[in-house]
A = this chain, B = another copy of it.
Amino acid sequence: MGIEIERKFLLQSDDWRMAVISESRLQQGFLSTDPQRTLRVRLADGEGTLTVKGLTQGATRREYEYPIPAQDAAQLLDELCLRPLIEKTRYRVPHAGLVWEIDVFFGENAGLVVAEVELGDEAQEVQLPPWVGAEVTGDPRYYNANLIRRPFSAWSNTN
């Protein structure tokens, strides 16, 4: 079991692209989007993972993550996960001693770009990179589990 503590931001420029140290394509799907017990399947760089997450409180969430065979992950994504799947490219960008992850979404969430940083504790001071914009930590619209119920492409009319 782990505790996941992360802060999430929108982007205000593309300058992060110059500092990318790695990128990977992620495909993920959900077997449950119940916010009290979310279940996520992920396939990235030929590795499968199954992740159970509890309720988010502040920037903190219980997280149980297990490696599973890539073939199982592919089958679970193809056959059992709720639709749509989430597809994104994740870029890693170091800044001031932390590694930021910038997720660029495809498919029904195309147009959405989010930057996340994982912290040791909620009080940890974070030096924000110049390319991040508004903080959206705790905004449920940006939870990946909600991006399948209400993808970014459906936001424009009411937000």
Tell me if A5 is interfacial: C-beta within 8 Å of chain B: no
Question: Across the interface, do B64 and A52 meet the contact criterion of CB distance under 8 Å?
Answer: no
A81 to chain B, nearest CB (A): 7
* Best-buried of A1, A68, A81 by chain B (most CB within 10 Å): A1
Q: Which chain B positions have C-beta within 8 A of A34?
A: 31-32
A36 within 8 A of B: yes
**Contacting pair B52 A1 (CB below 8 A):** no
Question: From DSSP, what is the main secondary structure of chain A's interface residues?
Answer: mixed
Chain B residue, CB-CB nearest to A71: B1
Alpha-carbon distance A32/B66, docked complex (angstroms): 17
Complex CA gap A41/B32 in Å reads: 14
With A80-B54, A80-B62: A72-B32 Cβ-Cβ less than 8 Å = no
Nearest residue, chain B, Cβ from A41: B52
Minimal beta-carbon separation of A117 from chain B (angstroms): 25
The chain B residue with its CB closest to the CB of A79 is B54
A17 close to B (CB within 8 Å): no
Told that A31-B52, A64-B75 touch, could you supply 12 new A-B pairs with CB distance under 8 A?
A1-B71, A1-B72, A1-B75, A32-B37, A32-B39, A36-B80, A50-B66, A52-B80, A64-B72, A64-B76, A66-B66, A66-B68
